[in-house]
Structure 1
């Protein structure tokens, strides 16, 4: 269904001209400003020891330097994990197709920085190629710092960069201005007070993709330089969005070094061109390298425009695309304009006269292009409102999948059992501790197994040894069969088996709403009033929903339908103590009015947190006469596909999840019609009574033998000690007698 939905949107590119007028895309045609250096001076940064409580601070650097007649201390904090471990770069091959490479890219050398004692100062620096290189922003002044070539004294050049505004600036499309009132209305209605401050502490991560067109490559004539500049542009954007806790993560780069993969000048308008580029991205590698948005950098203007972005297109495979004319522009300006473009994709409009930013004349979302590095108050409000209402789940995922797995030849000692190996105990040192496996990856003499829940002392465990115990009344035990080292498949009672007056078994679990409330809040806690479910679960927010479902822009909480309210968010009553559930979780208490005021206690976890969702009603709880919850939907019992007839088990067992009889003790599977040891054909043989009696007898014999041997050892030890003591006493007596006789002879003489 997902791919069909996307294709439906992709086919709409023929309507883009009308779409652009109606929905007023963010598209401007400013004349590009120029730039020049007004002054430069040579400085020698002196490293300052950065210690906290006597310990060296990791990932932080500080330098003392003097420029423009003032002493400054520059503090730098490293930006970690802004790129994948294996960074993909797509380029053209000889046949014109895209080939995938993974070049070496310096990492852990990009820094966010500021000047000590200078409010509002920001900077983006890197140390990737020796020395300090980047930009510093102090009020409306932009400084470039870079190492002085051929210097042996760590000298750097600091230059003041001044923008030269063009004489004429073309205004934005009239639709953008008309759209401003609509945006203000949307912002005024957005539920900012609750979600914004509650989720503000959770950082978001925007996964970026950049493409360099053939015309831009012709200007650079060097793929390495393009990669370097795009990484620095990405770092500038990360610095700009850092105050709103939005990390800019570079996912991949595509360089059209031979030919443009998409024709850029034949579609009639820039919106159609960018849409076709998004279509190409979707069909070629979108599912392999998933990104949240993309920017196409060109060396020429497309249809006279400087940049283009689909308004609120973030996280959409087609509309999450944009274009920026980079040309010969200074890389600092490229970073600032890219941040402006990302703002439009996030749903931001241009700043109004009432918008302002700290110690800056113009802000990032200003209509006038320039070196802007600070978000305005309007942008802060808009980003938080849009992230919460549209993009929160999409931007909450930090981990990025990697699809390039380096080939490693299989070998003995890698702790992976290959086709020609019986076992693999690892290194020589590890193998000395493993009695079952040799260093040649073969079983030791007399061994038949090395690992597994049914491997005991290098032998298969005896039939009947339990290898997986039950977890509840809806679970079934498994036993070793004496023929292999692994435990049989984990099975449970068939879904739909009655287990309590208010629940049926589902996925091996039996839990109604009362039991679930007690597991969350403690003993004697009960399910809340039906008013809590009927009023809250229809809201579709974090305090009441029917789970998180896929929506355009990412996963969002889904409001419950009338018949499903008792299967959505769990609500409990009579809660007196709230337990701790760790980070990224919240217990909430809401009062609703029905016939009387009702207290509703609930639990929820943040969408992007790796925390189990315990706040939703579990499957199997009753939600009405003959109906039970399944996947947050109230489902009739007939739709649970419970087809177990206990007559097939002769009323002496239950059906398991594989629809086989699990017999009670004393009855033999598969039909439980004859006397036997119980269990099922899937669970392995349970221990027989004879086996249990024999085991008890052997255990008692072993204990008796141990006691007898211990007593014998103690007796021997006591006899040895007695003999030694007796011999020692005889020697002492003889010595004393000899001394007495010698003394007596002396006296007689």
Structure 2
């Protein structure tokens, strides 16, 4: 037939085909087929499950019912809040070959960590950024991929079982040097591992690994679309975050560098992963470490180097030049590439390969297994190393992912709603300025205005002296008043620390609280502080349920037992508790019975150290702990230790001392010493309103009103008399007219 040629002719007609393969070979990660495949797929329709407390939807949580693998599952999801920086810098090459920095829009509130209800050890790493569910579900040793079905109008999704497959003749074992495990050493280490961790393990710290991702040109050529590359890197980091989050580590993206026009350093000369990573570490230290501080860097490539698909320096985390690794993404599935990156990250943290004694929950192999695969769970051996990393103090991992800003100097400009040195006001945009009667769009005040904002700015002018601009917040607080000279309220002031405010407490930093009040704030009305035996027995133990605070040491946070004199200032213990409130995550309510002559119940509250939850379980400052003593920083302090230089005698017993040790006088006496009649207040609070003037004004107003009412009544009386006289006159005239008419008849 025309157009068909013998096979031999076709082969002879393509002499350049081997040469073509020679050039295309280095672009791919391997010459073999991909190391993964889908074994089964099915169409599912996730059904959303409502998360409600009363009638309010719980923010940041989602649940879906999904049937796959012959079973019905409920997937619970919680949003990740620190996965991406607020400003996500992406560095690329422009048309002229120069680097440019952009901040593309990447949704930050659609990435979730999840699990399957009723399946212990399950894990989900999902996102909803494109309208449906997309991501990875791990059920025991099975890895599923879920993604929306394209062009479906019924919210249909495709869920597929993903497996790895070995390429014949290839060794998949990790080749990072110095990783041979010693069985005898490992057994000795496992034998020494306690069933429960040391005393400070129950309060985990949170550490942050800030990654600098670099996309090599070979990987970019596989899919030359910057948006797609950014999306894949975020998905990869999302999986890394899920794997290490349970160990107290948050894996964050610091910056993404894409070599879209060509590699930033020569890569083709390196024949193995070790030499590549060494050179890449030196390059990124010289190029980026001073400009964008980070903990480690990951180079994503589209080809192998020698026989290495990945490589990292063990223990290189936070090292400026050794903190580097590479992962060949190539034609690997993004989930497989992510688990390879998790393996290399484990090496950089200091983890060794798992040996025969290492186990992870409901998994055949763990992340640090010598032979890598779709592995998502860390072993008990890895947790030993990670625990040391998480609980030691260091300036590297302890720093959160502060947004990178390439512009340390920002020029002043009118319209940014920030009052600069040369501006009288700043009302913002043209629309905002059109609605502002005090400020023009040129950042100058309107005619006749003296201010445009502030608690002491009323009607575009300074408020009159004596106007209250900050009310008292409690018995130990003091009010502030406008001075009539500025638009701002005077600085906050409060009663001097140590001033008695109740039979069982003194003022401290403007607050007045004793142990009874604190117990009622935690557990409700009618709750009292527990018996003294609770404080004597528990607070001298120095453990989770009784201590005088947590001391930050190199090994982490360690609870400190109370000295005998300080037991009433340590952990708070309450009695008569009828109902336990909801404390939220990372909190614990405890109930301990202490045996004395009669059993005593001791209720308390504990917020885990290292979290952002306020520590409400310790006795607050200011509570009485003995005659002439009060609690201060979990120590029982004597009043003379405060070194008072101001007291009520300084104020002539007509006022109190404030935190600046100035007299705040009662109404009717003038500061600074309250020895002359005046309006009250202090030199720090602004002049309070003159009550005598207000009283005179009120009296004058009431007198004026009474006089006006009397005049009004008199006027009404006169008017009614005149009207009555007119009516009477009319009657007389009518009567005379009738008499005259009758006489004529």
TM-score (ref. length: structure 1): 0.63
Which moves more between the two structures, 510-519 or 341-350?
341-350
After superposition, give the CA deviation of every residue in 1:76-105 in whole Å (9 maximum; x if it has no partner). Answer: 999766322322357999xxxx99934537
Aligned to 2:343: 340
Q: 1:243 to 1:660 in 2, by over 3 A?
A: closer
The alpha-carbon deviation at position 359 of structure 1 amounts to: 8.1
After superposition, give the CA deviation of every residue in 1:234-262 in whole Å (9 maximum; x if it has no partner). Answer: 244345568889764323346896569xx
Within-5 A mapping of 1:391-406: 401=403, 403=405
- Is the partner of 1:335 in helix, strand or coil? helix
CA contact 1:475–1:508 (8 Å) conserved in 2: yes
- Is the partner of 1:618 in helix, strand or coil? coil
Q: C-alpha separation between the residues in 1 aligned to 2:713 and 2:433?
A: 38
The alpha-carbon deviation at position 537 of structure 1 amounts to: 3.7
The alpha-carbon deviation at position 353 of structure 1 amounts to: 4.3
**Match status 1:491 vs 2:498:** no
CA contact 2:300–2:329 (8 Å) conserved in 1: no
Aligned to 2:699: 697
The alpha-carbon deviation at position 185 of structure 1 amounts to: 3.5
Q: C-alpha separation between the residues in 2 aligned to 1:596 and 1:42?
A: 67
Within-5 A mapping of 1:498-513: 498-500=500-502, 502-513=504-515
Q: C-alpha separation between the residues in 2 aligned to 1:211 and 1:310?
A: 19
CA contact 1:364–1:374 (8 Å) conserved in 2: yes
CA contact 1:240–1:373 (8 Å) conserved in 2: no
**Match status 1:251 vs 2:254:** yes
The alpha-carbon deviation at position 377 of structure 1 amounts to: 7.2
Which moves more between the two structures, 474-483 or 453-462?
453-462
Q: 1:367 aligns with which of 364, 367, 370?
A: 370
Which moves more between the two structures, 660-669 or 235-244?
235-244
Aligned to 2:617: 615
- Is the partner of 1:657 in helix, strand or coil? coil
After superposition, give the CA deviation of every residue in 1:338-382 in whole Å (9 maximum; x if it has no partner). Answer: 32344567786654547666886433232333x132427757987
Q: C-alpha separation between the residues in 2 aligned to 1:122 and 1:485?
A: 55
Aligned to 2:603: 601
Within-5 A mapping of 1:29-428: 36-37=33-34, 82-88=83-89, 101-102=101-102, 104=104, 107=107, 161-164=164-167, 166=170, 172-174=179-181, 178-179=185-186, 181-183=188-190, 185-190=192-197, 206-210=208-212, 230-238=233-241, 240=243, 248-253=251-256, 258=264, 284=290, 306-310=311-315, 323-326=324-327, 331-332=332-333, 333-343=336-346, 350-351=353-354, 353=356, 361-369=364-372, 371-375=373-377, 378=380, 401=403, 403=405, 410-412=413-415, 414-426=416-428
Q: C-alpha separation between the residues in 2 aligned to 1:250 and 1:570?
A: 39
Q: C-alpha separation between the residues in 2 aligned to 1:683 and 1:463?
A: 11
Q: C-alpha separation between the residues in 2 aligned to 1:218 and 1:445?
A: 64
Aligned to 2:689: 687
Q: 1:77 to 1:578 in 2, by over 3 A?
A: closer
CA contact 2:591–2:601 (8 Å) conserved in 1: yes
Which moves more between the two structures, 321-330 or 181-190?
321-330
Aligned to 1:463: 465
Q: C-alpha separation between the residues in 1 aligned to 2:299 and 2:541?
A: 39
Q: C-alpha separation between the residues in 2 aligned to 1:282 and 1:636?
A: 54
The alpha-carbon deviation at position 162 of structure 1 amounts to: 1.9
Aligned to 1:644: 646
Q: 1:691 to 1:608 in 2, by over 3 A?
A: farther
Q: 1:591 aligns with which of 579, 593, 606?
A: 593
Q: 1:487 to 1:379 in 2, by over 3 A?
A: same
The alpha-carbon deviation at position 630 of structure 1 amounts to: 2.6
Q: 1:378 to 1:448 in 2, by over 3 A?
A: same
How large is the Cα RMSD of the aligned pairs? 6.6
Within-5 A mapping of 1:733-748: none
Aligned to 2:478: 476
Q: C-alpha separation between the residues in 2 aligned to 1:423 and 1:693?
A: 38
- Is the partner of 2:193 in helix, strand or coil? helix
CA contact 2:516–2:528 (8 Å) conserved in 1: yes
CA contact 2:496–2:660 (8 Å) conserved in 1: yes
Q: C-alpha separation between the residues in 2 aligned to 1:592 and 1:402?
A: 53
After superposition, give the CA deviation of every residue in 1:154-175 in whole Å (9 maximum; x if it has no partner). Answer: xx9x997522475696783456
Q: 1:241 to 1:163 in 2, by over 3 A?
A: farther
The alpha-carbon deviation at position 188 of structure 1 amounts to: 0.9
After superposition, give the CA deviation of every residue in 1:7-50 in whole Å (9 maximum; x if it has no partner). Answer: xxxxxxxxxxxxxxxxxxxxxxxxx9996348989999989686
Q: C-alpha separation between the residues in 1 aligned to 2:708 and 2:400?
A: 58
CA contact 2:662–2:672 (8 Å) conserved in 1: yes
User: Larger helix proportion, structure 1 or 2?
Assistant: 1
Q: C-alpha separation between the residues in 2 aligned to 1:711 and 1:373?
A: 95
- Is the partner of 1:694 in helix, strand or coil? helix
Within-5 A mapping of 1:539-554: 542-548=544-550, 550-552=552-554
Q: C-alpha separation between the residues in 2 aligned to 1:581 and 1:119?
A: 24
Aligned to 1:517: 519
Q: C-alpha separation between the residues in 1 aligned to 2:121 and 2:573?
A: 48
Q: Which runs of 5+ in 2 are unaligned?
A: 1-28, 51-59, 149-157, 718-745
Q: C-alpha separation between the residues in 2 aligned to 1:119 and 1:654?
A: 61
Q: C-alpha separation between the residues in 1 aligned to 2:540 and 2:146?
A: 56
Which moves more between the two structures, 432-441 or 645-654?
432-441
Aligned to 1:26: none
**Match status 1:528 vs 2:526:** no
The alpha-carbon deviation at position 469 of structure 1 amounts to: 2.7
Aligned to 1:573: 574
The alpha-carbon deviation at position 614 of structure 1 amounts to: 2.8
CA contact 2:540–2:564 (8 Å) conserved in 1: no
CA contact 1:86–1:404 (8 Å) conserved in 2: no
After superposition, give the CA deviation of every residue in 1:222-242 in whole Å (9 maximum; x if it has no partner). Answer: 996986764453244345568
The alpha-carbon deviation at position 209 of structure 1 amounts to: 0.9
Q: C-alpha separation between the residues in 2 aligned to 1:564 and 1:329?
A: 66
Q: C-alpha separation between the residues in 1 aligned to 2:125 and 2:526?
A: 57
Q: C-alpha separation between the residues in 1 aligned to 2:472 and 2:133?
A: 62
CA contact 2:594–2:601 (8 Å) conserved in 1: yes
Aligned to 2:671: 669
Q: C-alpha separation between the residues in 2 aligned to 1:556 and 1:230?
A: 34
